[in-house]
Amino acid sequence: MSDLITVSNGTQFYRIPESDLAQAKRSGFYRPLEIGRTIISDGRQILEIPLTDLESAIAEGYRNALSAEMPAAEMPAAAIPSQTSPRTEETTATQAEVSPYRQAELEREALHEQLQSSLAEASWYAKPFAAARLWWFRYRDNLLKQCRTNGLSIAIHVALLLLLSAVFLTDKTIDNPNIITVSQTDEPAIEEVIIETVEIEFTEPVEEVVEPESESMEVINEITEQLVSIDVAESFDGSMLTAPSASGSEGDGEAMEKPTKNKVQFFGAKTEAIDFVFVIDNSNSMTRGRFETALNELVKAVSKLNRRQRFYVIFYSDTAYPLFHPYSPKTLVPATDQNKKLLVRWLQTVPLCLRTDGKEALQLAFDLDPDVMFVLGDGAFTDGASRYFSDNPNKKVVVHTLGMEVNAQDAVSFKTLATSHRGTYQDVGVHPEAAMFAKQFPRQRNNKRNGYWGLKLPAVAKKKK
């Protein structure tokens, strides 16, 4: 007997030293001869069969692969080599026409013919079932083999996809989406803008009391609901950037159904209309209390409007910054108490920016089609806005201009803009209390782009030579 023995696990066969048999058994292998089985081959395939079927397999032309490991006493007579000639052995093998393996093939062929016959003889309602049985009989083995192969392939591909997703996908979750911190360039102070949900009231200046909201109002209601949590000192005149009282503004009333004109005073200039737009300079030169004075007068003027009047505010510097920027409504908003409070909170977020370009702001104001427009600045426009609109006046809108501590030459451009639009010009100054307030709470100044502000400024500030 050879030093090597044959082991199997039902599908794989190995020849190993007999000393390794115990280890092979722990791995799921066994020795076929120990359980009454052997291994046969016809040169093309290797099969494991019971020893009782060995004689029939040999008669069909198979060879016993474990004959060297079997004692002669255990081998069937057909497995023992005979002394007959090769021609006699060939004749004997051909006489065994039907073996158990051939019998299995014949049975499969018979079952196939039976299924085909059943399909041909089946009635119309039984034909689909008969066809399904025949299809399954034909393709069952191939399908099961493909499932085993494809299952492994799918598992490998899924593992690769999970690995790639872990490598390339990044987590972009914002830890605190409700806080926007504005960085500082020239000033040490840092402002934090906290966005919360605030419901905005909207009414339309038509004859009915309850009006459906327009599309632009819905945009405001969904997007521009923001609060600003910044500590504000006491107003220098009792109303510095404080929200109007809940009791309502002057001229306001629940019974009012039609829009009515109401006198509005902006820096002492009184006018009567329904729709107002305020265009105010927020350039870097609006310091030493100028900007604070302008905001204070703006809040006082808007607080006098009733809920059937409408208003809008636009700041101009490097570009136009409309009401509630960066989430601006597209139309004038009604002067409800809620919108007045929201205006006060938004004004706390407005910084100063480089340049004094007013063309975009004035064009946006004219497009809103108000009754009256107030334009306030501390110097001439740097983009020729005054000359452009003076040469192309809007005949529907009255424009009043206000120069805050401007020189005589700049005042001329403001006067020309006002007179070409049937308005007046007025020189205005800075409240002393506003100057003290600005010194104690300096407003941020931007020489480069900073988040939502300074949109047309360079990303990096130019160095002074």
pLDDT computed for residue 424 by the predictor: 94
Consecutive H or E run containing 297:
helix 290-303
Cα angle 456, 460, 465; round to 5 = 110
Calpha distance 289→205 (Å, rounded): 36
Calpha distance 164→94 (Å, rounded): 61
Confidence band for 238, pLDDT divided at 50, 70 and 90 = very low
Least confident of 100-109, 190-199, 413-422: 190-199
Task: Say yes or no to pLDDT of 324 above 70.
Answer: yes
Calpha distance 341→231 (Å, rounded): 15
pLDDT computed for residue 80 by the predictor: 52
Percent of the chain at pLDDT > 90 equals 41
Q: What is the mean pLDDT of residues 34-55?
A: 88
The runs of H, that is alpha helices, within 377-431 are: 385-391, 408-419
pLDDT computed for residue 44 by the predictor: 79
Cα angle 44, 45, 50; round to 5 = 140
**Chain mean position to CA 418:** 48
pLDDT computed for residue 113 by the predictor: 81
381: which 2 tokens? 């426009």
Buried b / exposed e across 406-429, counting CB within 10 Å, b at 16+? beeebbebbbbbbebbebebbebe
pLDDT computed for residue 102 by the predictor: 62
What is 342-372 written as a DSSP string? Answer: HHHHHHTT--EES----HHHHHHHHHT--SE
Q: What is the mean pLDDT of residues 221-250?
A: 41
Is pLDDT larger for residue 107 or for residue 301?
301
* End-to-end C-alpha distance for the chain, whole angstroms: 101
Task: Say yes or no to pLDDT of 253 above 60.
Answer: no
Q: What is the mean pLDDT of residues 198-223?
A: 40
Mean pLDDT, the chain, rounded, equals 78
Task: Say yes or no to pLDDT of 195 above 60.
Answer: no
pLDDT computed for residue 172 by the predictor: 52
Is pLDDT larger for residue 264 or for residue 367?
367
Task: Say yes or no to pLDDT of 248 above 70.
Answer: no
Calpha distance 305→252 (Å, rounded): 8
pLDDT computed for residue 354 by the predictor: 92
What is 125-176 written as a DSSP string? Answer: TTHHHHHHHHHHHHHHHHHHHHHHHHHHHHHHHHHHHHHHHHHH------S-
Is pLDDT larger for residue 206 or for residue 135?
135
